[in-house]
């Protein structure tokens, strides 16, 4: 809470700042160091300080990036990866939401659902990969299942906390103004828990890429992870770096997507109203 207040204060201070240039110059000044690192990397590669088999030069990576797009290899594998992530995410977010509603809305539901989920959560889900391969083979299923498993928890934990954190006074006001149980759920509980749900969703998207990296490096014949692993066999560090950059961009883009979603869905919040 204190952190949120702090952010709001710095935002307000920035808006009131007469130094308008400061706002434009700040992103520019932040780009200086990454660019310098890229230039240093290029010089080190060009002079032979960093051998090609250790790490390809930025310009070489850029060239490979372009040729992978030109022959369609990158797009094909990207689509496969995206599909796995989205399918797993859809399953995981749905299950997480259902479990959170069950244990958030009733004490008996909490007793039934929360304890087993908390116990399972103690196991790092990536450790289940061997078991998943035994159960689901080496096709699409274990990869999607791994993403689904990893994304259940952030959605469950955040939405559950959001539902339980609803202001009791608002619930009382709702009952007082004649809302029935379903209307209280729809007009008070769900909108009130939405901010927490979106926090959970943002974590879930991050975890979906993480689990995909692991899943695609085991027994995959397509996908960005497969592209990276097969490049390793031929010591193609340029392709490996392209794969890493793609993973990074995917994370960045999905984060922007969720932020946009938050801005639209949570227009009533003071932090968004100020921005």
Q: How far is the CB of 168 from another protein (least distance, A)?
A: 10
Q: How far is the CB of 181 from another protein (least distance, A)?
A: 12
C-beta closer to another protein: residue 174 or 243: 174
Q: Closest by alpha carbon to 104, among 38, 30, 196? A: 196
Q: How far apart are CA 63 and CA 61, in angstroms?
A: 5
CA geometry: angle at 176 spanning 170 and 180, to 5°?
A: 90
C-beta closer to another protein: residue 85 or 188: 188
CA geometry: angle at 252 spanning 141 and 270, to 5°?
A: 115
Cβ pair 61, 238 in contact under 8 A = yes
C-beta closer to another protein: residue 177 or 234: 177
C-beta closer to another protein: residue 63 or 192: 192
Site for another protein, rule CB under 8 A: 1, 4-5, 8, 167, 169-170, 172-179, 183, 187-188, 191-192, 194, 266-271, 273
Q: How far is the CB of 100 from another protein (least distance, A)?
A: 18
Q: How far is the CB of 169 from another protein (least distance, A)?
A: 5
C-beta closer to another protein: residue 257 or 268: 268
- Token couple for 181: 């149980």
Cβ pair 93, 154 in contact under 8 A = no
C-beta closer to another protein: residue 128 or 170: 170
Helix (H, G, I), strand (E, B) or coil at 218: coil
Q: How far is the CB of 167 from another protein (least distance, A)?
A: 6
Q: How far is the CB of 37 from another protein (least distance, A)?
A: 36
Q: How far is the CB of 162 from another protein (least distance, A)?
A: 11
> In the chain, where does DSSP find H-type helix?
2-16, 20-46, 58-70, 73-105, 107-121, 129-136, 141-164, 168-176, 181-184, 190-216, 224-233, 237-265, 270-274
**């560090």: which residue's tokens?**
237
C-beta closer to another protein: residue 62 or 179: 179
Q: Closest by alpha carbon to 123, among 149, 97, 157, 92? A: 149
Cβ pair 248, 174 in contact under 8 A = no
C-beta closer to another protein: residue 73 or 167: 167
Q: How far is the CB of 160 from another protein (least distance, A)?
A: 17
Q: How far apart are CA 263 and CA 275, in angstroms?
A: 10
- Token couple for 211: 């689990």
């Amino acid at each position: 809470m204190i952190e949120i207040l702090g952010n709001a204060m710095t935002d307000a201070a920035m808006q009131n700042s007469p130094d308008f240039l400061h706002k434009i110059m700040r992103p520019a000044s932040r780009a200086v160091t990454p660019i310098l690192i890229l230039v240093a990397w290029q010089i080190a590669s060009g002079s032979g300080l960093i051998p090609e088999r250790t790490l390809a030069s930025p310009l070489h990576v850029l060239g490979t990036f372009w040729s992978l797009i030109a022959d369609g290899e990158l797009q094909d594998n990207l689509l496969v990866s995206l599909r796995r992530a989205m399918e797993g995410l859809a399953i995981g977010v749905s299950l997480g939401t259902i479990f959170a509603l069950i244990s958030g809305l009733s004490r008996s539901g909490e007793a039934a659902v929360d304890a087993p989920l908390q116990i399972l959560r103690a196991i790092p889900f990536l450790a289940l990969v061997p078991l998943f391969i035994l159960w689901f083979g080496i096709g699409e299923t274990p990869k999607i299942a791994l993403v689904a498993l990893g994304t259940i928890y952030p959605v469950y934990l955040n939405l559950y906390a959001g539902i339980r954190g609803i202001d009791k006074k608002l619930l009382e006001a709702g009952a007082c103004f004649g809302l029935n149980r379903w209307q209280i759920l729809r007009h008070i509980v769900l909108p009130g828990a939405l901010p927490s749900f979106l926090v959970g969703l943002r974590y879930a998207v991050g975890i979906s890429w993480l689990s995909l990296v692991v899943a695609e490096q085991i027994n995959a014949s397509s996908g960005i992870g497969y592209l990276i692993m097969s490049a390793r066999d031929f010591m193609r560090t340029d392709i490996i770096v392209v794969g890493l950059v793609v993973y990074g961009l995917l994370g960045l883009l999905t984060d922007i997507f969720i932020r946009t979603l938050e801005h639209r869905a949570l227009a009533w919040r003071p932090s968004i109203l100020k921005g």
